[in-house]
Chain A
Amino acid sequence: METYGLQKWIKAACDAALLLILALAPYYLSSYHLSLLGRFLAMAILSLGISITWGRAGILSLGQGVFWGLGAYVLAMHLKLAALAPGDIPDFMMWSGLDHLPVWWNVFHNPFMALAGVVVVPTVTAGAMAWLVFNRRVSGVYFALLTQALALVFSTLLISQQAYTGGFNGLTDFNTILGHEIIDPGFQRAIYWITLAALAIAFLLCRWILGTGFGKVLVAVRDGESRVRFLGYSPAAYKTFAFALAGALAGVSGSLYILHAGVISPAMVGVVPSIEMVVAVAVGGRSSLTGVLIGTLLVNFGKDMISSAIPSLWQFVMGALFILIVTVLPKGLVSLPGLGLRLKTILFKPSVSPALQEPNA
C-alpha cells in the first residue's frame, strides 16, 4: 500500500507538471503553433467523450462530428450575428434572397443563450437519438453504421441549406465575442487558457464519473449487456446517459475549436472527420483517459505536419496508422510501457536457473 500511495503522488506530480507546461505554452510557442495546440486541446475534450462511450461502454460512434458540429455551429451563429450592425443579416443570407433573420438564428444573438446552446443542443440531440436507438436494442456495428449515416446526413443538410447555414463555405469572419476582438493576441492567449481549463475540468469530470457506480455499470454493459439487464439495470438508460455526456463534451469541443480556427464548414463535421476522431482515440488507447489525450495531440500534430508537406499523403497515413494500431497495439500507445516490460522479461529471462549456472560456486 505504501508504494501504491507513492505511485499516486508521482502520477499527480506528473499531471501537475504537464498542466504547467501546457499553461505556459503562450510564452514559448509562436502564435501559429499556439493556435494549433489550442485546436488540438479542444479536440481532446471530444476524445474524452469517445473514451467513455467506446472505451468503456463499447459503443462505437462514427458520427461524433455531428455533435461537435452542432456545438461549433451554435457558437458560430452567435459570432456571425455579433459581428453585424443592428438590423443586418449575414451576407450569405442576403445572397440567397432571405430578407430577415430566421427565429432559430435570433435565439443565439444572446451570448448566454449561445453558450448554453453549445452544451444543450448537442446533448439533447445525442441523448434523444441514443434513447430511441438503445431502447430498440440496436447496438454494435448497426449503431456505428447509423451514426455514420447521421454524419453524412448532417453534412449534406448543411451544404444544401445554403440560405440558413452558409452552405459549403460554412460560417467564418468572426470578429468579436462578448465585446473582445478575437484576433487580438492577448485574447487569443485567453482563449487558449480557457480551452486548457475546459479540458482539465472535462478530464477530472470523466475520471470521477468512471470511478462511480455508473462507471462500473458501463464496463459491465460492455461485458454482458443482457446480464446487466437481468440484474435489474436498464442498459439503455446508462448507455443513453454516456452518449449524451459524450455529445456535451463534443459540443464544447467544437465551440472552442472554432475560436482558434475562425471557421466552421460542413467538410469539418462529416464522415471523414468523424472517423479521424475515432482513429486518434484508438491510437492513444481508447479505455485510458490519458491515452486519448496523447493520441489526439499526436495524431493531430502528425496530420498537420504531413499534410503541410505532402497534402495528399495524410489519408493514406491515417488508414495505415489505424490498421497498424488495430493489429499490433489494440490497446493503443498507452499499452506500450507494459508491452516493453513484457518484451524485456521474454528477452532477458535466464533460460537456466541460477543454481544450475554456477555449479562450482
Chain B
Amino acid sequence: MTNPLLSVENVTVSFDGFNALDGISLQLMPKSVRVLIGPNGAGKSTLLDAIIGHVQPTKGRVIFKGEDITRVDEYKIVRKGICRKFQAPGILESLTVADNLALAARRNRQCWRSFGTRISPEVRSQVERVLGLIGLEGKRHAMAAHLSHGQKQWLEIGMVVASDAELLLLDEPAAGMSHDESSQTAELVRSLSKQHSILVIDHDMTFVAQLDAPVSVMHMGRMLKEGTLEEIRNDPQIAAVYLGRAKEVPHA
C-alpha cells in the first residue's frame, strides 16, 4: 500500500473565534486529482492556505511526503514540492512570459545563488516544455502584463507546473475563462495528473465534470462528503446545502 502524498489531519483554523476550518481531514495519493467544491465561505481557499503555510492551523497537522510541514515557512514548503496557483492571477507583470516561467523553474532559489546571468539548460528545456503545454509558445517574449485574462491564468498554471512540484494546488484555474478556454484548461489539468498530484478548487460544475475526478464537498469548514460527481449530485443532504442553492443561481 502506498502512503498518501499529502495528509491533512484534523486541521482547525480560527480567526477571532470563528472556525474557518473546523477539524478537517483530507488525504491525497501520489498522481491523483481531487476537486474541492462548496459554497462561498466553506473554507476551500483557507484549506489551501493552511497546506502551504499561509495561515497557521490552531489545531491539527499537515503531513507532506511523511514530513510534518505545519510550522514550516511558506517558501520552504514550496521548495519541498508544493506549488499554488492563486484565485486572482498572480503573474509577474513586468517580466516576459519566458522570464516568468524561468523564475518558477529555477532550482537555485537562495539569494546567494542568484548571481548568475546564465540560464541553465534544464531550466531552458523546462520553460520550453511548459510553453508548449500551456500553448503560449508564440508569446514567450511578450510582457506578461499584455496577455489576455485567460492567458494570464494559463501562465500562472504554467508557473506552478514549471516549479516541478509534486503537489499542485489550483485555486479556480478556469475562473473568468470562456467556455472553450475552460475546456482546454480541464484537459490540461487531466494531462498534468500523469506527473503531479493536483488539488483543484472550482465552482463551475461544467468544469468540474470535465475534470472527471473524485470530488470533496466542503461546508462550514468541514468535509461534508467525498465521492464521484454523480454520487455527490444524488446526495440529498448536499443538494440541500449546495447544489440546491446553486440551481437557483444560474452559472455563466
Residues of A within 8 A of B (CB): 208-209, 211-214, 216-217, 219-220, 222-224, 226-234, 237-238, 240-241
Kindly state the separation between the CA atoms of A285 and B116 in the bound complex, as whole angstroms: 26
- Option from A220, A234, A240, A241 in Cβ contact (under 8 Å) with B92: A220
- Option from A208, A217, A224, A234 in Cβ contact (under 8 Å) with B91: A224
Instruction: Determine the residue in chain B with the shortest Cβ distance to A227.
Output: B90
A232 contacts across to B, CB distance below 8 A: 75-76, 78-79, 83, 109, 163
Taking chain B's interface residues, is the majority helix, strand, or loop, or is none over half, making it mixed?
Answer: loop
Kindly state the separation between the CA atoms of A240 and B111 in the bound complex, as whole angstroms: 10
Kindly state the separation between the CA atoms of A233 and B73 in the bound complex, as whole angstroms: 11
Nearest Cβ distance between residue B56 and chain A, in whole angstroms? 14
11 A-B pairs within 8 Å (CB atoms) are namely A213-B115, A216-B95, A216-B102, A220-B92, A224-B91, A227-B90, A231-B103, A233-B75, A234-B75, A234-B110, A238-B114
Kindly state the separation between the CA atoms of A248 and B94 in the bound complex, as whole angstroms: 27
Kindly state the separation between the CA atoms of A241 and B111 in the bound complex, as whole angstroms: 8
Instruction: Determine the residue in chain A with the shortest Cβ distance to B104.
Output: A231
Nearest Cβ distance between residue B107 and chain A, in whole angstroms? 9
Instruction: Determine the residue in chain B with the shortest Cβ distance to A240.
Output: B111
Q: How large is the interface on B (under 10, 10 to 19, 20 to 34, 35 or more residues)?
A: 20 to 34
A230 in contact with B114 given A219-B92, A223-B95 (CB within 8 Å): no
Nearest Cβ distance between residue A49 and chain B, in whole angstroms? 17
Kindly state the separation between the CA atoms of A223 and B102 in the bound complex, as whole angstroms: 16
Taking chain A's interface residues, is the majority helix, strand, or loop, or is none over half, making it mixed?
Answer: helix
Nearest Cβ distance between residue A127 and chain B, in whole angstroms? 12
A231 in contact with B83 given A220-B103, A224-B90 (CB within 8 Å): yes
Nearest Cβ distance between residue B101 and chain A, in whole angstroms? 10
- Option from B73, B78, B95 in Cβ contact (under 8 Å) with A220: B95
Nearest Cβ distance between residue B78 and chain A, in whole angstroms? 4
Contact B83 A230 (CB under 8 A): yes
Kindly state the separation between the CA atoms of A238 and B79 in the bound complex, as whole angstroms: 16
Instruction: Determine the residue in chain A with the shortest Cβ distance to B74.
Output: A229
A217 contacts across to B, CB distance below 8 A: 103, 111, 114
Contact A212 B111 (CB under 8 A): no
Binary flags per residue of B60-79, CB closer than 8 Å to A gives 1, else 0:
00000000000001111011
A213 in contact with B93 given A230-B78, A231-B78, A231-B103 (CB within 8 Å): no
Contact B91 A237 (CB under 8 A): no
Kindly state the separation between the CA atoms of A217 and B99 in the bound complex, as whole angstroms: 10
Kindly state the separation between the CA atoms of A229 and B111 in the bound complex, as whole angstroms: 12
Q: Does chain A have a CB within 8 A of B242?
A: no
Contact B114 A214 (CB under 8 A): yes
Instruction: Determine the residue in chain B with the shortest Cβ distance to A223.
Output: B92
Contact A211 B78 (CB under 8 A): no
Instruction: Determine the residue in chain A with the shortest Cβ distance to B111.
Output: A237
